[in-house]
Chains A and B, each alone.
Chain A
Amino acid sequence: MDKKLHAVSPESGLNSNLDLTPQLAQFSSAFLFEPKNIVPFETALGWQKNFQKSLIAKPFSPQAVWLLEHFSCYTIGRGGDKNNLLFEENKSPVPVFRIERGGEVTHHMPGQIVGYLAFNLSLHKKDLYWYLRELEEVLIDVLDLLGIEGKRVDGLTGVWCADKKVGSIGIGCKRWITQHGFSLNVNCDLIGFEKIIPCGLDKVKLGKLSDWIPGIKVCDVKPLLRESVKRRFKLNWENI
């Protein structure tokens, strides 16, 4: 290779910031749904699908955020590897769903807050890597408020405390309208993770916030998450 090529530093060139996506909206609006009861996975999936459909039809109508808990279940992304399920899919004690998001298998159960976000990224930034990093920031901000140091691991998606993964992220997108989102382990029973290779990561250790703050409950964390999402994505909550 010709070293002369670098006589002019490419970094100082035109490409230092190629992202010209306009920040269309300072504030966009969204409905916030926080069901009191535990929600079956397929019910919430239906809500999301309907919402995504209507946002595709009317891209500038209000977006939506759900913060909820699921009954125990496993979900796998469309590209997910079934070998990460350490049991036979049809003999699973709890339901297994193959869903339209990226990533490998994960586990939901009571005591874990699941956040679903139906956003029109055209109003934010049309960049899915940016969106994944922002979702991580949402969780890291919440951990920070709780006095726990959350961090990401380079090359992976999710949020870790020390060496334990507490937050998982997986999203799907159509015409820049998102679905799915994140999950944060609060005080759940992690035993179900032993039956899978979470996120396809062989040696990953799972953690929950109650490991750091004994006695913490979902209802303590939800308000922080709600605010964190609102702040990070510059949302106004619509009146329901």
Chain B
Amino acid sequence: MATHDIFMPALSSTMTEGKIVEWLKNPGDKVERGESVLVVESDKADMDVESFHDGFLASVLMPAGSSAPVGETIGLIVETADEIAAAQANAPSAPSQSVGEENKSSSTQIKEQKDTVDSSKTTVVNKEPISPSVLESSVNQPQFLNDGRVVASPRAKKLASQMGVDLATVRGSGPHGRIQAEDVQSAKGQPISVPWIAESNAPAKVVSDIPRIEKKPVDLDKPPAAGKSFGSRGETIAFNTLQQAVNRNMEESLNTPCFRVGYSILTDELDSFYKQVKPKGVTMTALLAKAVGLTLARHPQVNAAFTSEGIAYPSQINVAVAVAMEDGGLITPVLQNAEETSLSELSLQWADLVKRARNKQLEPQEYSSGTFTLSNLGMFGVDRFDAILPPGTGAILAVGASLPKVVASKDGSISIKKQMQVNLTADHRVIYGADGALFLKDLAYLIERNPYSLSS
């Protein structure tokens, strides 16, 4: 079945998300190549989004009035009328519905809105304070002050409109008093959640580091906070677009026959190498991505993926690294050609990717071109876990923390060494047990015996 995605277009190189003003076509309507299908608005600019294909609008994934990050799939086009039903069945249920129901059920909890919305207004989402869709529409609302000037970061403005904070009352801590997102949060009395990113530095971290990541002082009188949540007790929070995308991918992975294979890797050598290169700005993510990239170069089968035509061997080795987003969902920025890129270059690229991921400024190919995925929870002290295979790839490696272990060697002597458990999840249609095992054996050899080769 030929399904074509309609993406949220970038109206500007600095645009992160756009608001869908209007769908000019209804699901089921015929569309011609070049015909306008919907209108997207950002700031004071409208853009007609055209179909690149002849066919039918099968599904509207984001309703009018809602906002989506640039690059997000917002609708589906199929080539023949017969495919409409199938595409609709595969597509996630229209968010408009769930938002609408949510709106009714939790109406008592909805914070009062400054502007009363006429009940005749069709865009339900405008009444939904927690929906990301409100953001764009309210960004243009009164931030205009008596002195005529509010200087705030785009994210702060967005948060302020989300949380109903008047920016005029917020004291800015940024340069020249610019209001930052944190200022809005503290004005609202919310704990400041520093974006937590699953940045990989597993071997360097041990369990005792956790409070540093958590950033919240542990109050002994109260039960310790078990973690973050996106909503309050008793609430149901609609999935954001990123979460929806993750949900789709995770559900799709159920169609893949996966198996897991694990390995314990000694990391003392890697740690000492890391200590040497760290002052040069090299990150653990870069080290792991490079190690995986170099090992994949010798194990092309593990870099391959299932397609209906057969086993696809990508022309590049692109290591995607999973990053948790602070407002829900996760994204997998990609380090392209990891095997032939230098450690410092990989570190720079990674810092850039993470920064832009957090600002939702990644181009689709920067998070969707991975051929192998790395997922690291080591910084939380997790000793082992298994990961779900992202669709379109053959394998994902789950990396645990590097922890001191009592290790017996062949000659019977006992010593304490640092050990990191890794766990490969692979699509058995492409990668067999022996392929996975040999890949892990080589990866372990590289990390245990030869980490210095990573700098070549």
Contacts and interface: CB of A to CB of B under 8 A. Distances in A.
B13 A5 contact: no
Interface residues of B, number: 60
B12 A128 contact: yes
A173 interface: yes
Contacts of B352: 10, 13-15
B152 A199 contact: no
B141 interface: yes
A172 interface: yes
Interface string B38-52: 010111111110100
Contacts of B255: none
A169 to B, nearest CB: 5
Given A174-B36, A174-B48, A1 B197 contact: yes
A214 B150 CA distance: 30
Nearest to A8: B281
Given A8-B348, A163-B148, A1 B141 contact: no
B355 interface: yes
B13 A4 contact: no
Interface in A130-174: 130-132, 153-157, 160, 162-163, 169-174
B351 A128 contact: no
Contacts of A173: 11, 45-48
A14 B201 contact: no
B121 interface: yes
Given A14-B349, A173-B45, A1 B140 contact: no
Interface stretch (A23-31, A42-50, A77-85, A185-193): A77-85
B196 to A, nearest CB: 5
A203 B141 CA distance: 10
A5 B19 contact: no
A107 B383 CA distance: 64
A211 interface: no
Contact of A5 (B149, B344, B351): B351
B195 A1 contact: yes
Interface in A177-232: 199-204
A218 to B, nearest CB: 23
B21 interface: yes
Interface of A: 1-2, 4-10, 13-15, 18-19, 21, 77-79, 81-83, 100-104, 127-132, 153-157, 160, 162-163, 169-175, 199-204
Given A13-B349, A175-B50, 10 more contacts: A78-B22, A81-B137, A100-B46, A102-B43, A103-B140, A153-B149, A154-B149, A170-B44, A173-B45, A201-B142
Q: Which 6 pairs between the two chains have the least Cβ-Cβ distance?
A: A129-B12, A79-B21, A8-B281, A174-B48, A128-B45, A13-B352
23 contacts: A1-B213, A10-B351, A77-B21, A78-B39, A102-B41, A102-B46, A103-B140, A127-B11, A129-B12, A129-B42, A129-B45, A131-B45, A155-B157, A156-B143, A157-B44, A163-B147, A169-B44, A172-B46, A199-B140, A200-B141, A201-B142, A202-B144, A203-B142
